[in-house]
Amino acid sequence: MTTLISFLGKSQLDSKTGYRTARYRMPDGTIHETAYLGLALAEHLAAERVILLGTESSMWDLLVENVAGDHAADELRLELFDAVKESRVTQSILDDVAPSMAAQLGRPVASLLIPSCATFAEQQEVLTRLADHLHQSECVVLDLTHGFRHLAMLGFAAARYLVHARGVTVQGLYYGAFDMTHNGVTPVVTLDGLAHLQEWAEAFEAYEASGDFSRFAPLLVQDGFPRAAADALVRAWRLLMVSNVHDAAKSLQPVLQALGTPLSGASELFRVRLQKALRWSLESALSEKFRLLALQSLKRGDALRASIFGLEAFLAREVEAAAGNPLDYAQRKAADEHFQAQVRDGSVPDWKREAFWLLKNVRNSCAHGTPPSHARHAQLLRNPQQLARELEATLNRLTNTP
């Protein structure tokens, strides 16, 4: 179901000419002359349902006169006209006239009386009432043309709120730009790009908290990114979640190649930032891929994954130094055992010994939920900030230090 949500503003009623009309030009070029864009949009978009929001002084009488017409009883119409004139419209009156409007429009109409939304409490009230009138997976279109100017901002916020709180899909945001009228025609501006920009901002915020870069895939596709590259992005994340760093990096190569070309829409504003986030996959050495991923994990406060990737970076580095294959489990295990033997006979530098045991003890402790036997490491696990600093210093030493 597609539902149009439209704000109903307050306009000056001329006793001779009625409400001021405008010739609205839709994005496809068609012209609709009306005093209220919401009605034209409902027809233009073939909305199956309409939700109208207005205050006690909004031009509800226009709807009854021009939409409900003779379907509304005379006494009800007069009651509404007087209520609008005196700024005392009630929800009860709107409920009474709703069937007449629905009959004339050929679709259900819900008229919601809202406060002026001068306070956050009132704004919350409107968002809650809207959510109560919508269903999960419903497609929503918002008309932000009429009403107080701050209601357009509320409508934009409502679009994002309803996506998260109700699981709806926002199909479009429209604004009839009366101030841009030229030669008697008023353009209807789409604000979908701004909504897409907000989606990107939310996705990056989520990425920085979780590391999940797969959530960018549908946003990229929306702006013309190759579907195959978007699928590769999702596959890379799933591989990374099982610590298959080698194959995850391979899967990201077509993604980075596609990101090398400017994109359309909001995606272009975040393209370079996404490239930077995935740059670890371009490293030739597996040990360096692990190390950079460990630093990323540490930055978002994930000490468990930072220690897992950090220890793998350490051991892969040992295998690589011996000209071995770090993807070979037997060689990795042998490198682990050999290094521990070197620790016991005192043939490794102190910093390297300390780095190995810090990474190993933190990984084991985080994985099993038990404190390490090493007193200093146990103390670090009680001080996450100090632990993060020491892990970062350790990871930074794993670059070219012998």
Write out pLDDT tens, residues 94-122: 898 888 888 777 889 999 999 999 999 99
pLDDT tens digits for range 128-174: 999 999 988 889 999 998 888 888 889 888 988 999 888 899 989 99
**pLDDT winner (highest mean) among 97-101, 138-142, 344-348, 396-400:** 138-142
Please check whether residue 230 is in contact with residue 217, taking contact to mean a CB–CB distance below 8 angstroms. yes
Is it the case that residue 303 has pLDDT exceeding 60? yes
Q: What is the pTM of this model?
A: 0.81
**Long-range pairs, 393-397, Cβ under 8 A, ≥24:** 394/310, 394/354, 394/355, 394/358, 394/359, 395/291, 395/294, 395/295, 395/298, 395/306, 395/310, 395/313, 396/295, 397/351, 397/355
Where is 169: in which H helix or E strand? Answer: strand 169-176
